[in-house]
Amino acid sequence: MTDLIVSISFHELCQYEELSEYIILEVVDHGIAEPVSGKNAPDWVFDTNTVHWLRKAVRLHSQLEIDWVAVAMIIELLKRNESLEREHRYLEQKLKRFLE
């Protein structure tokens, strides 16, 4: 299976998500999102998975009024939980095949 990676530029991300450049810079500075390429903000390119986490982070920050440091910690825990759930499903499938 091939993973399809779709990318979006810094400026496209700002326009598409209706966010200021400042918000994107904050999210990147706190490690919530990482560009897949580009050295400077105007040249940054993000994958679509980043957009998913960016949306969650912005909602946490704006709707619940959580500061960016706490948002970064929450997003990291959510990512870890998602990874563990994927691993759990994989191991369940493997065990099921083994027992059949």
Contact at 8 Å (CB) between 7 and 47? yes
**Structure confidence by residue, pLDDT tens digits, 11-57:** 999 999 999 999 999 999 999 999 999 999 999 999 988 889 999 99
Residue 26 CA: distances (Å) to CA of 3, 18, 23, 62, 81:
28, 15, 5, 13, 23
The fold of the 7-99 domain, in CATH, is Multidrug-efflux Transporter Regulator; Chain: A; Domain 2 (1.10.1660)
For residue 3, the model assigns a pLDDT of: 60
For residue 79, pLDDT over 60 is answered with yes
For residue 2, pLDDT over 60 is answered with no
For residue 5, the model assigns a pLDDT of: 65
Each domain of the chain, given as residue ranges in start order, spans 7-99
**Gap between the Cα atoms of 38 and 31, Å rounded:** 16
Q: Are strands 7-9 and 45-47 parallel, antiparallel or unpaired?
A: antiparallel
For residue 4, the model assigns a pLDDT of: 59
Angle at 68 between CA 19 and CA 8, to 5 degrees: 35
**Gap between the Cα atoms of 73 and 31, Å rounded:** 9
Helices (H) and strands (E) in the chain, counts: 4, 2
For residue 6, the model assigns a pLDDT of: 82
